Each structure stands twice: as structure tokens, then as C-alpha cells.
Amino acid sequence: MSHPTPDVYEQGKGMDAHNQVMREIRSRKEASYDPHEPTRVWLDEDNTPDGVKRSLTIILNTGGCRWARAGGCTMCGYVAESVDGGSVSHEALMDQIDVCLAHEAENGDEPADLIKIYTSGSFLDEREVGAESRKAIADTFADRERMVVESLPDFVDREKIADFIRHGVDTDVAIGLETATDRVRHDCVNKYFDFADFEDACAEAAAADAEAGGDADAGIKAYLLMKPPFLTESEAVADMIASVERCAGVEGCHTVSMNPCNVQRYTMVDDLYFEDGYRPPWLWSVAHVLRETVDVDAIVVSDPVGHGSDRGPHNCGECDDLVQKAIKDFDLRQDPSVFEQVSCECERTWEVVMERERSFNQPLTH
């Protein structure tokens, strides 16, 4: 197990440089956040090991990511630095949950089966969400079928998972692994844990699952990032295919969510994009990876954010909506034939980019 504090993460020249630059970039942002409001909340549908479920997704404001305060990931713009002291009280967190329940009641016909809680940090890090809050939130959603909570692998242990499992709620921990390749995770994403830590977290989830017997399931949902900065289109695709395969091969990891990078404000990716040094991945690349990994032993989904825009994953502008629709369709049905329904002349351009883009001529297209 590696080191859970940002201070200890500060190792190595490349990371120092990334952090120094990211701190400067983030310092340009001036925004403030109300600790009694969640960052975001919405209703959707999701594919789970038990089929497609209605879902309530909550982005909890927990004072923001500790790693981001040191500098943080090169593509991530979800940073709330305005909460004084960097922590949010138990009462404020519960206020946020109330806001989410009200949103659900107002916009949904009935309570969602699936609750997903993200924090832009680690829900299982007790400096972000104390044990008292965690247990109270577990109690709040005790009547649901399944929960997903986000965490760095370091904070995943079977006791914390048990807080949810003991209510009979299937529980997944979502881990922003980004890539199975340590080199890319370190140098391109600037995220400092290793694939081995992810494997350890999966083992903890598997242990929690075993301890729960048949009452409830516990598992890991891996989040991957397609095309961090500095990789070419073909390198990004190869990295994703390898990562999906490696994740699916780890016991305890039953779902892989492979998401194309989008250009968020106040990030290193945004600085590159502004200077014509970065292009988000093609949607053809997303489709290609999904097709290539269809035989792995895991659910593989992708949720391209901002598709069709310059700052999001996109093709030529003509076919973006169609390909996005095919990807969403694939997410729910896991059937690669959905991609046979879409074609466009720009697929040939994408092939040329795959073949010819190099780290000394990228990006080849807009």
C-alpha cells in the first residue's frame, strides 16, 4: 500500500513540475462554494451487474480534493478550494444530502435504485467525510439496491464498505484509476498511486464481498481516462485497450467506465488546448476501444462528456451525435453491433490520425 497523504506524494521531479504548474493554473480560478449545497446532482440510467437501473448521481462538496490542493491531476478542473480549512462539517454534509433527496423527489417518479456519490476526492477518506457522516449517509440510503462511492484506492477497506453492505445494499467503490499503465498515470495524469494499489483495493472489496456472504455484493468500478495530455490518439487507444483488459482481469473489479478526456477550465489540458497543443479524443477511438474489449470479463461502459464540442470528444461534427448514441446504446446493452450502424467519411481521417499522429506533430486535426 502506498502513501495516502499529498505530502508524501510529493516525490519526483516530474510531479513537482506538474504540481507547481497546476497550482499556478488553479490559482487563476476565483469561485466560492456553499458547503450546504452539493456541487451537482442529477438523475440518469446506469448499467450495473444486475442490469440497467435508474440512478441518482451526487457530487458531494467535501471541501475538494486534497491532491488538487498540492497541484493535482492535469485534466481535472473539479476543485473547490473556497471551503475554509478544507473540510465540511457533518451538519453541512447532511444538508447536502437533503438537497439531493429533494431533487430526486421533485424530478423522479420514485426513488432511484442506484445511488452514486462522488466527491472529487475520496468519500472513504475520513478527513473528507468522517465516519459519523459516512454511516449516516449509508443509513439514509439503506433502502436502495445499490450504492457507488468514489475513493482513491488507499482508503478502500472492508470495514468501511461494510457500513453499506450491512444494510443489504450492493456496494461499489468507484476508483479513478485513469489507466493501468503506471507511467502514464504518473507522467501524463499526475496521479500518484500504482496499479498495485488498485489491485489491493479490489482485494479489499472482494474480502468485503466474501464476508457479506449472499446478503449483498461489494465490488470495484474502475474509471479510466482516455487520452490524457501528451499521448497521441493511437497511444491513447492502445493504453485504454490494455487498461480495460488489465482491470477486467482483477478479481473484485466488475465494471470499467472508460471516459474520454474533455477540456476543463483551469487545467493543464486547457493550457495545452489554448495553444493548439491538445485535442480531445475522437469518438471513433471510444467506439474502437469498446469494440476491441467486448470479450473481457467486466461491464465496459463509456460516458463521453461534452461530445461533439471542440472541448469534448468529437469526430467531424457531422456524425458526433450518432456515434455518441451508439456508445450510450452499447453502455446499456454491451452489444458491439451497435457500432456497425454508424459510419462516416471522417472514419478514414481518424484512421490516418491513428497511423500518423506522433508526439512531435500532434494534434493533427482540430
Partner 1 sequence: MTDYFEVHARDGAARVGELRLEEPRSTPALVDDVLEDAGSLWSADRAMPEGDDSRLTVLPHRGFPGGTAEEVRESFAVSYPDVDYPSVAVISSEGAADEGTDAYAVSDVQSITGHGAALVEAIVNVREAVPADTAVYFSGVATPRNVAVLAYAGVDLFDETAAVVKGTQGRYLTTDDAYFLEDLEELPCACPACRKPREEFTREDCVEHNRNALAAELGIVRRRIRDGRLRDYVEGQARQDQWLTAAMRELDSQWGYLEERTPVLRDAQIDAATGDTIRRVEIQRYADRVTTRYRNRFSNPLVLVPCSAAKPYSESQSHRQFHDAIQWRAHLVSMTSPIGVVPQELETTYPAQHYDTVVTGRWSEDEKRFVSTVLRRYLERNAYPEIIAHVPDEGYRDIVERVEAELDLGVTYTVEDHPTDTESLANLQRALSGELKYSKREREHNTVRAIADYLLGDGAGDDLFEDIQTTSRYPKIQVRDSEDTQLATMVPQYGTLSFTLEGAKRWVDGEAPTKRVEIDGFVPHGSVLAPGIVDADEEIRVGDEVVVEGPKAFGVGRAEMFGREMAESTRGVACEIRHVEEK
Which residue, 16 or 297, has its beta carbon nearer to partner 1?
16
**Size of residue set near partner 1 by CB under 8 A:** 46
Dist. CA 235–CA 11, nearest whole Å: 26
Position 11 contacts partner 1 (CB under 8 A)? no
What is the closest distance, in whole angstroms, from the C-beta atom of residue 352 to partner 1 in the complex?
5
| Of positions 238, 299, 305, 332, contacts partner 1 by CB under 8 A | 238
d(CA 80, CA 222): 24
Nearer to partner 1, 32 or 359 (CB): 359
Site membership for partner 1, residue 43 (CB under 8 A): no
Least Å from the CB of residue 364 to partner 1: 5
Interatomic CA distance for residues 323 and 204, integer angstroms: 37
CB of 349 to partner 1, least distance (A): 4
Taking CB under 8 A as the criterion, the residue among 7, 16, 126, 318 binding partner 1 is: 16
293 binds partner 1 (CB under 8 A): no
Q: Which is nearer to partner 1, 46 or 357 (CB)?
A: 357
Interface with partner 1, residue 320, by CB under 8 A? no
Closest contact distance (angstroms) between CB of 354 and partner 1 is 11
H or E segment to which residue 228 belongs: none
Binder among 32, 85, 110, 361 for partner 1 (CB under 8 A):
361
> Residues 5, 20, 337, 343: which binds partner 1 (CB under 8 A)?
20
Instruction: Tell me how far apart the terminal alpha carbons of the chain are, to the nearest angstrom.
Output: 41
How far apart, in whole angstroms, are the C-alpha atoms of residue 160 and residue 173? 10
Stretch that binds partner 1, among 245-253, 265-273, 302-310, 324-332 (CB under 8 A): 265-273
CB of 345 to partner 1, least distance (A): 7
Residues with Cβ within 8 Å of 70's Cβ and at least 6 positions away in sequence, in order, are: 6, 7, 9, 10, 19, 23
Phi-psi region of 276 (alpha: psi -120 to 50; beta: other; left: phi over 0): left
SS3 track for 256-322? EEEEECCCCCCCHHHHHHHCCCCCCCCHHHHHHHHHHCCCCCCEEECCCCCCCCCCCCCCCCCCHHH
Are 285 and 233 in contact by the 8 Å Cβ rule? The answer is yes
Interface residues toward partner 1, by CB under 8 A: 13-14, 16-18, 20-21, 181, 183-184, 187-188, 229-232, 235, 238-239, 268, 271-278, 316, 345-346, 348-349, 351-353, 356-365
